[in-house]
Amino acid sequence: MTNSQLKELLSDMSLSEKAEQLVQLHGRFFGNNDVITGQEMEFIVPEETALRTGSVLSYHGAGKIRELQDRIMSGQPHKIPAVFMTDIIHGYKTIFPAPIAQGASFNPELTKKLSEAAAKEAAAAGVHVTFSPMVDLSRDARWGRCYESTGEDPWLNARFAENAVWGYQGKDIKEKGRLAACVKHFAGYGAVLSGRDYNVTELSERTFMDDYLVPYKAAVEAGVKLVMTAFNTVDRIPCSINKKLMRDILRDGMCFNGVLISDYAAIAEAVSHGAAGDYAEAAEKAMLAGVDIDMVSQCYINNLVPLVENGIIPEELVDEAVMRILILKNELGLFENPYKDGSEEDEKTIILCDEHKKLSRDAANESIVLLKNDGLLPLKAKGKKIAVIGSLADSKKIIGAWSLFAEKSHIITLKSAFDELYPDAEITYVLSDNICEEAVSTAKNADTVIAVLGEDDSFTGESASRADITLPKGQTELFNALYEANENICTVLYGGRPLVITEIAEKSKAVVMAWFPGTCGNYSIADIIFGKVNPSGRLSMSFPYSAGQLPVSYGRFNTGRPKDDSVKHFVQFVSNYLDVPNLPLYHFGYGLSYTEYEYSKVTLDKDVLNRGGSITASVTVKNKGSMDGMEAVQLYIRDKSASVVRPLRELRGLEKVHLSAGEEKTVSFIITEEMLRFYDINMEYKSEDGGFTLWIGPDCMTDNSEEFILTAD
């Protein structure tokens, strides 16, 4: 439809019909018993009203959607099709490594490929919109939803955000196999106090603007079609009714003109927050803030019409919101084809196809992080007795809580991967997390023990925050019993968050962070353990030494009494703890390989950066080992003196390079003035003249540095 036709359609709609377009109902309102992704709200919608609402949540399957779409259009006065939206977080039925694992790949272009594949599967199943990517900055591992984030760094999260949007949407969302993406949760949700889900946030304006908003802005600039409001408060105002946040910052500041949708019942939760007296007031404030769709609450459906009729809100605001929704439907091509790409035949050929399964495995190859290796890995597949102990070794609950539509029968467990890929290996399994004689005796008689530990799906995700992020109960006791029996332990950890593994790391000879690796990701773990794959994953979230350090990030600030990072023990009258170090156990960007990479000294083509000009910073990286591998070469910059305190280091560049054994490559980064901007003492986004340090190396702790000056001359 043309824009004028959309305007004509809007002008012909009744107020009630307009209000219904701004409501999203869950599939259960239409007889679907699919997964509930939010807190149930007790409200009743007559069937004829439900069949006129503008969008449907958590409904999938080409045949089911076709049937429901027909019902909706037959009862809709203007035959306006519904938009079907659901959570395709890291795959539809072929599950890819969790977002936190994708972050550990340090390869944003990989996420573009994964999002493209996920879109093809979900589109074939009739889905139009995915509630992804989640780009919340995550620096507190207690928060269960950090598993959905790509990590703690604004710049890196921004690169993953834009690549996810490009992967889902392509150049035109009307194209076959494309979904409209929805970036979430706007804004600052990763900073909930105490890491407790749905909690409030307390962020300074500068921290909010300089750090937390960066990935959302990147997604908007990448062309994302929808934005979802967050559950938390910003400046003590719930996001879904926060006019400054939504209109001033998102719409005006970031120039977002797409659809703004609340999270599940988030508008209604303004009443629980104490920021609205009732659902009518919540609806009024949300509409004034510019929220277009009320997801699964009674606020809009029961209150928008009387709010307009009583002159409390102007109908023009409703019209603006409806027009944005009509534009989205038009861009998806739903007026011409209400089912878009939904096809039962395509479901059979695209979903869980060999290409996507291979992609699941290839992605895990790059996402798994080798945290420690005292020469134990890789193992030889023949001639040694191996004990694999732990229930997660044969569990299918290691793909992540948001893998809502995963086909369990296709999930490869670690045991099945070992048995299929390495049938000649002499492996004995004890699939228990409890201390038992069988586990201890098996460990004692083995040459090597693989302790398979960590969290399963139930420990992370929405509403899954943990105050204690050590291993689940019983696993530490099991590990210590195995250690007493045999010190040659490789610990494989599953999970969606960094864990406190100080004792495990000290006693293990090797530690492999597997994350939630996806449908075929356990093939990758087996291949890494036996040396077929050289690990290249790097941590995008720091592993704390103790939960008492949280939140923790490499992008920290100096204090007036800073502690020397090389000093591990307590020092009086400087900023440190009595009982633990300041630094995390494993820092951002960290990860080991089976080969050794050598970096040359950083070279600059000049040491003065003029505004409008650039500096080229280069290193030569050589693979000194005997195994091919990939290295994530990282650029960090520090503003040495500014009008406000600045982080000690900030990631500003990344290139993941493949190096054959003995090969060397020169990696160069272009430094421009734009890379040095921040919100200054007057809250102006700009750079300031002065001295800077840059580092190029394998992680945030590299000391391979050079100095340069920014000047207006």
CATH code of the domain containing 696: 2.60.40.10
Same domain, 521 and 383: yes
Please indicate, yes or no, if residue 488 is contained in any of the structural domains.
yes
- Residue 712 burial (CB < 10 Å; 0-12/13-18/19+)? exposed
- The Cα 359–Cα 364 span in angstroms is 8
pLDDT band at 34 (very low <50, low <70, confident <90, very high): low
**450-471 mean pLDDT:** 96
**What's residue 39's pLDDT?**
63
The enclosing domain of 404 has a CATH number of 3.40.50.1700
Same domain, 382 and 517: yes
Q: How many domains does the chain have?
A: 2
**73-86 mean pLDDT:** 95
* Residue 37 pLDDT exceeds 80: no
* Residue 35 pLDDT exceeds 60: no
pLDDT band at 454 (very low <50, low <70, confident <90, very high): very high
* Residue 338 pLDDT exceeds 70: yes
Q: How far apart are the first and last CA of the chain?
A: 53
Contact 677, 686 (CB under 8 A): yes
* Residue 241 pLDDT exceeds 90: yes
**What's residue 36's pLDDT?**
60
Please indicate, yes or no, if residue 451 is contained in any of the structural domains.
yes
**388-404 mean pLDDT:** 95
- The Cα 547–Cα 528 span in angstroms is 29
* Residue 232 pLDDT exceeds 90: yes
Of the residues 529, 546, 570, the one at which a domain ends:
529
Q: Which of 22-36, 430-444, 633-647 is the least confident region?
A: 22-36
Residues recognised as catalytic? 263
Same domain, 365 and 441: yes
> What DSSP designation does 533 have?
S
492 contacts: CB under 8 Å, gap ≥ 6? 390, 414, 450, 451, 452, 453, 454, 512, 514, 525, 529
**What's residue 44's pLDDT?**
83
Same domain, 409 and 513: yes
On average, the pLDDT of the chain sits at: 96
* Residue 140 pLDDT exceeds 60: yes
Same domain, 606 and 514: no
**459-482 mean pLDDT:** 95
Same domain, 367 and 461: yes
- The Cα 253–Cα 248 span in angstroms is 6
Please indicate, yes or no, if residue 390 is contained in any of the structural domains.
yes
Chain-centroid distance, C-alpha 382: 39
Q: Tokens standing for 571?
A: 């020092």
What's the pLDDT tens digit per position in 596-618?
Answer: 999 999 999 999 999 999 999 99
Please indicate, yes or no, if residue 685 is contained in any of the structural domains.
yes
**147-174 mean pLDDT:** 98
Contact 21, 14 (CB under 8 A): no
Q: Is 549 helix (H, G, I), strand (E, B) or coil?
A: helix
- The Cα 365–Cα 518 span in angstroms is 11
Structure-token match 């749905």, residue found: 198
**168-186 mean pLDDT:** 98
* Residue 482 pLDDT exceeds 80: yes
Alpha helices in 555-679 (DSSP H): none
Same domain, 511 and 365: yes
Same domain, 495 and 395: yes
Please indicate, yes or no, if residue 87 is contained in any of the structural domains.
no
Q: Which secondary structure element, helix H or strand E, spans residue 708, and what is its range?
A: strand 705-711
Q: Of 616, 710, 623, 604, which Cα lies nearest the Cα of 665?
A: 623
Please indicate, yes or no, if residue 650 is contained in any of the structural domains.
yes
Same domain, 384 and 491: yes
**281-289 mean pLDDT:** 98
Structure-token match 């196809």, residue found: 353
Same domain, 485 and 602: no
87 contacts: CB under 8 Å, gap ≥ 6? 37, 58, 130, 131, 132, 402, 404
* Residue 99 pLDDT exceeds 80: yes
For residue 133, whether the previous peptide bond is cis, meaning omega lies within 30 degrees of 0, is yes
- The Cα 251–Cα 256 span in angstroms is 5
Of the residues 529, 552, 573, the one at which a domain ends:
529
Same domain, 516 and 603: no
Please indicate, yes or no, if residue 426 is contained in any of the structural domains.
yes
**Percent of the residues in the chain that have a pLDDT greater than 70, as a whole number:** 98
222 contacts: CB under 8 Å, gap ≥ 6? 161, 162, 165, 166
pLDDT band at 514 (very low <50, low <70, confident <90, very high): very high
- The Cα 162–Cα 146 span in angstroms is 18
Of the residues 529, 564, 580, the one at which a domain ends:
529
Q: Tokens standing for 64?
A: 């089911």
Same domain, 525 and 601: no
Each residue of 50-76: b (16+ CB within 10 Å) or e? bbbbbbbbbbbbbebbbebbeebbeeb
pLDDT band at 713 (very low <50, low <70, confident <90, very high): confident
- The Cα 144–Cα 138 span in angstroms is 10
Any idea what the Cα angle at residue 371 is, between residues 654 and 469, rounded to 5°? Answer: 105
**What's residue 557's pLDDT?**
95
Contact 164, 487 (CB under 8 A): no
Domain that holds residue 629: 597-711
* Residue 38 pLDDT exceeds 90: no
Please indicate, yes or no, if residue 672 is contained in any of the structural domains.
yes
- Residue 235 burial (CB < 10 Å; 0-12/13-18/19+)? middle
**683-701 mean pLDDT:** 98
